[in-house]
Structure 1
């Protein structure tokens, strides 16, 4: 749980007033700062947020997350105004897959089905046959005919995990999330030695050696549900530390221990600097000014909508 300052409470109240006046909805990812999660209308992972964005009646969507998430909301709501509190809140994974280079790969393998993880740019989605999230990736891969070869992008770690789970051979793009690749196996093992009864839970974007020693591998929502339903009372958590806020609210009597990054850091955890670029002050300003706004060309939105729609149908 976060400790709200008087200033943050005041900002939250001002945001609530603005939100009502402008018929806006605030969608926030689990990796956002706790005070943003607390003011949001809906908090979720990529799949949940995409579903919510597709069904909202609000005139304005404020996406407290990163750029590709706000783009997805715009693709699903081309006539609505979609705002991102900090336009520079990017994603290391999305940026690891430049559209020009990916187009070259597609041209080399024209008969491959293209499956892309939702953590990619609108341009990459537009080149895809179907999009997936970590929640539904296995189902998406299994929906493709067995005689069809597959390109999977941009996350090689999730791709390797899916190869193991589905038994399908896939051509993997060499991309990764710097946060999920930052976990220290040595520090994790030290924690496990200290808490030998703990369950290790990890996001499939993590590196293979982290996944091999994990008791549960799943999406952000999957990890939350696992912790809630498990009889165990101690968990070592290998994903972005922002999830701990919601997780601790769900299981206040359980012990949650974040896996540290390889580098020394002040929080003894692994945080996404892009996710943390959004603040309450920026959230208020973007609602007040209705900016920064996500603007995409109509042709791009239509092309990117097709693979997202296919995912939703699955």
Structure 2
């Protein structure tokens, strides 16, 4: 058993950066245990695997010199439609990523991988297509945007905006929108670089019926801006709501919900919201070896519904 470390999180993050830049994935940073780094990064190759996907293309991106892959997701609904998502190969990172993060005051987690909560969100949207039909929908902090693409392709939404604050991520979203353009029918779909602040969101305020997001509450410094953005974007007439899927991650979700209340919004939390997701969660808790590092607090997304 490895000993616990008392190293500060900032030191651990620099250790992660050192690993990425040296590209020595088998080497643990000096005096840091692999479990300590995992505690900070929380990057995972495991997931709920609710929507099966396989790599159908692998090539070097001429603009970034990273290896990109195109993943074909087969949606478990009538007609078995397919969605193609372009993303980087896991572990791809360079100094430009951190420069962009610093310049725009955003994190770069959207470039890391398709996160498990996004898979759960996309599956939930498939199972509840009626809530999006003829609605204007926006996905916040979407990363590679699987959920937004699923909504656009299967729910007959009026419009779907797939957004992220990192312009490098948004470039990937636009590639995926272009690759799936024939799957959207009459639904308008666009990518958007969206920062969670009042100045940027003013021109689209009070226009969306539904907001969706997954695992966007980890960074506490963004909590208030995210709560304000939700309030600005939701329609203030008729029925509108934001649906978030977020693990507790210590007290991060609780702290975010405090900001939700401070901004005059209401919320409800549901733990068991889908029988299939719950069954897989229980299997992981019981020790299913397909996800050996599974921890409920950090891995299982609760459903939070937010209203004006």
Compute the TM-score of the two structures, normalised by the length of structure 2: 0.32
Higher helix share: 1
The answer to which structure, 1 or 2, has the higher relative contact order (CA under 8 A, 6+ apart) is: 1
Compute the TM-score of the two structures, normalised by the length of structure 1: 0.31
